[in-house]
Structure 1
Amino acid sequence: MNLRALTPMLRTPDLAATVAFYTQVLDFQLSAGDAAGGWAALERDGVELMLSRLNAHEGDLAPAFTGSLYLRTDDVDGWWRRLRERARVCYPIEDFGYGMREFAIYDNNGYLLQFGQPIAAFDEA
């Protein structure tokens, strides 16, 4: 009895704009669904994300999520150069005492996306 994956599903009032953000800004590919159908599955480099319209059954009025999506990368500086002018920045790139170099941006809904790379990876390069 094993878990095989965890795929976040984010709700949005404007599914088309959210699909556009993830495909145009972050280069995810649409793998299933579409805005007209009310949900979409996206993929990039083996990372999966699902998006859906707000859920009327649960009384959604706006996007809501108390955590963040943490994306580990092999080139955090490259991502920073790419995204710092294309998205609202939460905090700029920085080395943290817990061994990660990271930064964070918000998507078009205000969901927090953190990008990180172990600092040890820089020492090995």
Structure 2
Amino acid sequence: MKLKEIRPALYTRQVKETVDFYTNILGFTCGAAGDDGSWAALTKDDTEVMVTLPNDHVPFTGPRFTGSIYFITEEVDAYWEAVKDQARICYPIETFFYGMREFAIYDNNGYLLQFGEEV
């Protein structure tokens, strides 16, 4: 078995607002969406994130993802400058001992998004 890609699907009760955050602030494109507003596929370059209303089989009281979504990027400093004043910051851009220059923000739902570039 070969894994080809990963496509996180984030639960939200605010699909439209989340699409707006990812497209207007982070520069993603809404590539596809449900006619009923229940889901959307958001793409930027070689990445895709899906946002969807919660599955009826999973209890949902709000975002409970305990990790982060880590995006490997190029020109992380330029991306930081583009989004830093438009999103809630977890930590500002910094170069870490493990060889990554990165920053982290929260999306409109509270999901932690990290953006890093190898140095």
TM-score (norm 2): 0.94
Equivalent residue letter for 1:10: L
Asked if 1 retains the 8 angstrom alpha-carbon contact of 2:15 and 2:37, the reply is no
Asked if 2 retains the 8 angstrom alpha-carbon contact of 1:33 and 1:40, the reply is yes
Per mean C-alpha deviation after superposition, the further-off stretch among 51-60 and 106-115 is 51-60
- For residue 54 of structure 2, what is the aligned residue in structure 1? 54
Asked if 1 retains the 8 angstrom alpha-carbon contact of 2:16 and 2:37, the reply is no
Q: CA deviation at 1:35?
A: 6.9
Q: CA deviation at 1:59?
A: 1.3
In structure 2, C-alpha distance between the alignment counterparts of 1:37 and 1:101, rounded to whole Å: 36
- For residue 41 of structure 1, what is the aligned residue in structure 2? 41
In structure 1, C-alpha distance between the alignment counterparts of 2:44 and 2:57, rounded to whole Å: 30
Task: Kindly tell me the number of residue pairs found equivalent between the two proteins.
Answer: 119
Gaps of 5+ in 2: none
Superposition pairs for residues 70-81 of structure 1, below 5 Å?
70-81=70-81
- For residue 82 of structure 1, what is the aligned residue in structure 2? 82
Instruction: Could you list the structure 1 runs, at least 4 aligned residues long, displaced by more than 3 angstroms after superposition.
Output: none
In structure 2, C-alpha distance between the alignment counterparts of 1:115 and 1:35, rounded to whole Å: 31
- For residue 12 of structure 1, what is the aligned residue in structure 2? 12
- Larger helix percent: 1
Aligned-pair identity (%)? 50
TM-score (norm 1): 0.90
Per mean C-alpha deviation after superposition, the further-off stretch among 24-33 and 104-113 is 24-33
CA RMSD of superposed structures (Å): 1.2
- For residue 65 of structure 1, what is the aligned residue in structure 2? 65
In structure 2, C-alpha distance between the alignment counterparts of 1:116 and 1:35, rounded to whole Å: 34
In structure 1, C-alpha distance between the alignment counterparts of 2:34 and 2:88, rounded to whole Å: 25
Q: CA deviation at 1:55?
A: 2.5
1:80-120 CA distances to partner (integer Å, 9 max, x unpaired)?
1111101000001111100111110000000001111111x
Q: CA deviation at 1:5?
A: 1.0
